[in-house]
Amino acid sequence: MKHIISALVLNKPGVLAHVAGMFAARAFNIDSLAVGRTDDPSLSRMTIVVVGDDRVVEQVRKQLAKIVTIVKVQDFVGHDMVARDLMLITVSCPGDKRAEIQALIEMFNAKVVDISPKSVMVEVAGPETKIEAFIDSCRPYGIKNVVRTGTVAMARYGRTQAENQ
């Protein structure tokens, strides 16, 4: 089962290496990892996607919580949340195929961010399934390059949750 784990960490050198080392020491693979500062410059948020059974991932979550530089750990499995990936993809785009590729971009609600005589660079944001579907749709045209951020996620806040914060 896929687990999305959010870790609020101190924004200090070596924290990422410490977390990655903890996963490596337990021979546990990280499917994706995204890290960025929060609104508080002293904190960053790591969003870690791992695949494993609930028991193993629970053990990993507990080990993460023991790391001194980690402030809070949350596993989003079973919680209402929003998860998104971001991708930049460069697709071969000869003149006679531009209209087809533009229609594809519009269907996926994507955005052209760079264009050249022979290719187009597109930004796609959304659930991982949308990113994968866009890649599959672009294969017939020729994919030149792909870069992805990995998943970022945030719990949805309903009225009761917001009142309890």
- As a three-state string, the secondary structure of 49-69 is EEECCHHHHHHHHHHHHHCCC
Distance of alpha carbon 47 from alpha carbon 161, whole angstroms: 21
* pTM, full prediction: 0.82
Inside any domain, residue 164: no
Inside any domain, residue 59: yes
Inside any domain, residue 35: yes
Inside any domain, residue 165: no
Inside any domain, residue 158: no
Q: Which residue range(s) make up the domain with 63?
A: 2-75
Please say whether the beta carbons of 45 and 113 come within 8 A: no
Give me the CATH number covering residue 113: 3.30.70.1150
Tens place of pLDDT per residue across the chain (165 aa): 889 999 999 999 999 999 998 888 888 889 999 999 999 999 999 999 998 888 888 888 888 888 889 999 998 888 899 999 999 999 999 889 999 999 999 999 999 999 999 999 999 999 999 999 999 999 999 999 999 999 999 998 864 444 444
Same domain, 87 and 68: no
Distance of alpha carbon 49 from alpha carbon 90, whole angstroms: 25
Structural domain tally of the chain? 2
**Pick from 57, 102, 63: which is nearest to 76 by CA?**
57
Pairing label, strands 81-92, 152-155: antiparallel
For 91, half-sphere exposure in the C-beta direction (CA atoms, 13 angstrom radius) is 27
